[in-house]
A and B are shown apart, each in its own frame.
Chain A
Amino acid sequence: MATVKLKNIKKTYPNGAVAVRGVDMAIEDGEFVVFVGPSGCGKSTMLRMVAGLENITDGEIEIDDRVINKVSPADRDVAMVFQNYALYPHMTVRGNMAYGLKNRGLPKAEINQKVTDAAKMLRIHDYLDRQPNQLSGGQRQRVAMGRAIVRDPKVFLFDEPLSNLDAKLRVQMRIEIKRLQRRMGVTSIYVTHDQTEAMTLADRLAVINDGRIEQMGAPIELYNNPATLFVASFIGAPQINLIPVQFDGKNLNSGDLQFSGFKDLPENTDLILGIRPDVLEPNNDGQLEMQVDLVEQHGAENLVYGALNGASTTDGYNTEICFKTDQNTQPAIDSVLKLHFDQNHAMVFNKETGERLI
C-alpha cells in the first residue's frame, strides 16, 4: 500500500525529443489512476519512469515518500503488466510467476503458496505447467497479471494491457482488473489510449497531451466539465460536436446560424461551441438543422449522423453532427431534422488556446 508522487518530472531523449514536460501528480494509497491520451503524448514514458525503465531527466518520483529516481527497477517494489504480456517464453506459467520471487530469495514453500493463490484467483491454476505458447491471448494476459500479483507490490503498473485482446475479452478483463484492484487495494497506474477503458477503470483520470497533464480528476467530472477543448474532444464517445463560432456581443454566430443566450465572451475571437451528442434532441424549435445520412443502431440507443446545415466551415472542423437517441427514434435517411440543445449544457472554448470559456 503506497502513495506515489511525481514532482515536476521531465523526460528528454538523447536525440532531443521531449516526451514529458514537467508533470506533478500525487496518487493516493489504493487509488486507481489512469493516464489517457493519444499515442506519443508521453503517457507510457511517464509510466516507464515510475517503473524505472526510463531515466528521469529532471524532477523526482517518490513512492511512499522515498525518492526512487536512482533505485533499480527490481528494487522499487512495483510490478508491471506489459502490452504484449512479455512472458518469458522458455518458462512455464509457474516459472514465469515465480521468477521474480526466486530472485528475491524467498523460500520455496512460500513461493509455491503465493503462485498457487494467485493462480486460483485468476483461474489459471490448470495451466501452471504449460508454456506461454500453449496459451490463448486471454490466458497469457492472466499470467501476466499473475506475475504482477504474486510479487505483492506497492504499486501496479499497467501499460495498455488489454490492447492485444479481442473486443469481448477486453471488456471481460477490464471488469476483472477493476475487481482485482478493488479487492487487493493496491495503488495502480494504468496507461491506455482507449477512453472507454479509461472512463470505466479510473478512480481518477489524467488526460495527457504533448507531455503535460491537460486535466486530472474523476472520470465523470472530466466528462461533464472538461477544462480544455482537448479534454472535451478526447473524452466521450461518440465525440463531442464542435462548431466554429464567433461572438458579436449578443449571439454566437456560425455562417447562417445564430445561438442566443450567451454572454461574457470575447468578441472578434475564433471560438468553438461544443455540444455533446446526448445533449441534442430532435425538436421543431431547435437551433440546429441537420440532414441525416446515417443511423447506427446500437441496440438500446441509436446514433444519428448527418450534415449540419448553415454552419460556417473552418479548417479542421467539418460540419458533421451526431446525436444520441433511443432505439425507437429512427429518422429517415436524407430527412431534415431540427435539433435543440439547452445552452446550460453547451460549452464554449477559445479556438486558439483551447481554454474553456463557458
Chain B
Amino acid sequence: MKRVQFEHSTIPYLFIAPQIIIIAIFFLWPAAQAVHQSFLLEDAFGLSSQFVWFKNYFDTIGDASWRQAAWFTTVFSVLVTFLSLGIALLLAVKANEVIRGARTYRTTLMWAYAIAPPVAGLMGNLMFHPLIGDLYKFLNAIGWDFNHKLDSFDAGFVVVLIAVWKQVSVNFIFFLSGLQGISKAVNEAAMMDCKSPTRRFWTITFPLLAPTTFFLMVINITYAFFETFGIIDTTTGGAPGGSTNTLVYKVFQDGFRGADLGGSSAQSVVLMLIVLALTVIQFRFIERKVHY
C-alpha cells in the first residue's frame, strides 16, 4: 500500500463496490452454496434433502473413481508442467541467444497463446482421428498399437500432448522476458568467469530464472487442474472408462451428467481445499527462497 493515501469515508467504498458486489453474488454465494450442499443428500427427484454431515466427503474420498481421477490429475499436472516448462525454457534460451530472426521466432512461438484449449483439443482430436488423422496412422505404422479410444495410456498420451502444446507459448513468453531481464553485465561477468556455456547456464542463468520458474509452476499447475477442462472435453471426454478424468472434469460430470449435487459439491470443496493448500505451500516455502 502507499504511504500517502486519501482519507475519505465513502468514496473508496463506491470505487470498490462493483467488484465486491459481483464477487458477493457470483462468487461468495455460490461457494457458500457448494459448501452447504456438500453436507446434504438429495433424493432422486431433488424434492427433499437431508443433512448428512460429512457423508458426501467420505463417499467422495472413498470412491475408487474419485481416487483414480485424483491420481490422474496428479500425474497429468506433473507431466504437463514439467514438459511444457522444459520445452519452453529450451526454446526461450535459444530464442534469446540467436541474433538473426529473434523477433520472428518470438512471434511464431508465442501466438498459440491465443488458441482456446477446446479449440486445441478439437484440432488434436482430428489429428488423432482414426479415419483421417495422420498422427493416428503414423503411430500405428511405426508399430505402436495406438488407439486412444480404447487404451487409457494412449488416451492420456493424447491429452498430455495437447495440453503441453497449448501451454508452451505462455511459458515461453515468461521465460524469454525473464531471460531478457537478466542484466547484460551479469552475463558478461559470467562469460569472463566461466568458459563453458552449459555450466554458465546452470550456475547463473537458471538460478536467476528461479522466480519466473516458480511463478510458472503455479500457473501451470492451475492450468493443468482447471483450464485443461476444454481439452479433455473435446478429446477423450474422460474416456476410456474415466481414466482421463481430472478432478475438475469429474465435478462437472457428476454434477451435470450424473446430477449428484451433494457428491459433486463435496468434490468441489475438496478441490478448493487442495488449491488452497497448494497456494499456502507456494507462499510459505517457495516464495521466500527465490526472491533476491
Contacts and interface: CB of A to CB of B under 8 A. Distances in A.
- Chain A–chain B contact at Cβ < 8 A: yes
Interface stretch (A79-87, A202-210, A258-266): A79-87
A80 B292 CA distance: 24
Interface string A70-111: 001111001110111111111000000001100100000000
Task: Give the contact-size bracket for chain B.
Answer: 20 to 34
A326 to B, nearest CB: 44
Nearest to B193: A100
Interface string B249-292: 00000000000000000000000000000000000000000001
Interface string B80-99: 00000000000000000001
B210 interface: yes
Contacts of A74: 191-195
A82 B210 CA distance: 24
A100 B186 contact: no
A225 to B, nearest CB: 37
B192 A133 contact: no
A51 interface: yes
Contacts of A100: 192-194
Contacts, number: 66
Given A86-B185, A89-B208, A53 B194 contact: no
A92 B11 CA distance: 48
Interface string B191-217: 111111001000110011010000000
Given A84-B183, A99-B203, A133-B292, A90 B210 contact: yes
A10 B199 CA distance: 32
Nearest to B183: A86
B196 to A, nearest CB: 8
Contacts of A72: 191, 195
B114 interface: no
A17 B279 CA distance: 51
Interface of A: 14, 51-53, 72-75, 78-80, 82-90, 99-100, 103, 131, 133, 147
12 contacts: A52-B192, A53-B188, A74-B191, A78-B192, A82-B189, A86-B185, A88-B204, A89-B186, A99-B190, A100-B192, A100-B193, A103-B196
